[in-house]
Structure 1
């Protein structure tokens, strides 16, 4: 099987721009198109998944709200949060939505374990939690057996905007980030380590592509 092509972008990419790029890639890909993994950050934005309740956005303030076609409910993206988008042909990989979701969670758990941090799953609430606080969120969309969207990891960011929403539709859900648990772990190094753990958890080889 061909390696997963990894694309990393410097700076901040608008959410809607990336959403349209993922949809276009997924619509145009064929049986020979290599899978891709995109690592990037967004400017501040609240995104609403297909199951989102508008009431879970309490007060967006100056932060834009974008309707997304991913699964899940409401979340926040912003600078200092790594977002990984997985554009995977699931049947070709021999994977299911469940195994892909489990692999993403396992990658984050292994990443945190590098610094002695215990990450946990929560039944019925996809993502990864540390002492009850959410550190990573998941959401996928599947079309013709091909995935897009993926996971976000709170790394070194301003967490205050999460107070403007019910994160993932859960009132009073605490959130945390890597920097608060391991302050000497640089943002870029966390991103690189996350890619390594994701490759291992999915049992795929990753190859860096254009940036």
Structure 2
């Protein structure tokens, strides 16, 4: 089986990387090596292929880009680890549901290494943290989302991928219903006692992805 290469893209505009993912996938052959693309985006809302406009509450001056991934609207910005997963899942012998689970498990394992307990949900892809949170009305138990994912499969190959909130401005998430979830609040690694260094989290998450994929 081909090994997975890691490509470091730095901070890049979402639309240009989106175009490159599609081109890479369209040009793949059975011998093309699988890749993980690590990137940080300037502030942007991305809307999934079947995204509903009512989940865009107040985008303001942050651009909204339509994409062909699954899922609803999400936000990307500095302080968030974004990894695009360009993998030939047909060659690896598993399907889309298995890929989703593997990506969620990699995020969960990475968070666990920081002492953060997270879990997936059967009704909404991504990774969630349960606990007691204070939204200004006093501490209350609840659930918050920390990791998101959206994928596209073309000719048995995946692109798009996952995002994990590390140490970012979470305020833009209040301008949308994240991933179409009403009243869903977001959280991040640094606020839960984990590292605030995206490079550290990136390294750990890529190691987990290589194990799970």
Using structure 2 for the length normalisation, give the TM-score.
Answer: 0.92
Alpha-carbon distance in 1 for matches of 2:151, 2:163: 11
State whether structure 2 residue 167 is matched by structure 1 residue 156. Answer: yes
Alignment of 1:80-159 (within 5 A): 80-131=79-130, 132-159=143-170
Q: Secondary structure at the match of 1:199?
A: helix
Shift of 1:51: 2.0
What is the SS of the residue equivalent to 1:130? strand
**Whole-angstrom distance in 2 between the partners of 1:195 and 1:87:** 13
Where in structure 1 are there 5+ consecutive unaligned residues? Answer: 203-211
Q: Does 1:200 align with 2:188?
A: no
Runs (4 or more) in structure 1 with deviation over 6 Å come to: none
Q: Distance in 2 between matches of 1:184 and 1:153?
A: 12
Aligned partners of 2:166 and 2:196 also within 8 Å: no
Match of residue 176, structure 1, among 183, 187, 202: 187
Q: How many residues align?
A: 201
Structure 2: which 5+ runs fail to align? 131-142
Distance in 1 between the 2:116 and 2:195 partners?
14
- Separation in 2, partners of 1:38, 1:95: 21
Q: Per-residue CA shift, 1:3-36, capped at 9, x if unaligned?
A: 11111122x2110000000000000111111011
Per-residue CA deviation, residues 120-139 of structure 1 (Å, 9 max, x unaligned), is 11121000001110000011
Q: Cα RMSD over matched residues?
A: 0.9
- For 2:110 and 2:49, the matched residues in 1 are separated by 29
Residue pair 2:126, 2:147 contacting (<8 A) in 1 also: yes
Separation (CA, whole Å) in 2 of partners of 1:59 and 1:44: 14
**2:160 & 2:94 partners in 1: Cα distance?**
16
Q: Is the Cα–Cα contact under 8 Å of residues 167 and 196 in structure 2 kept in the other structure? A: no
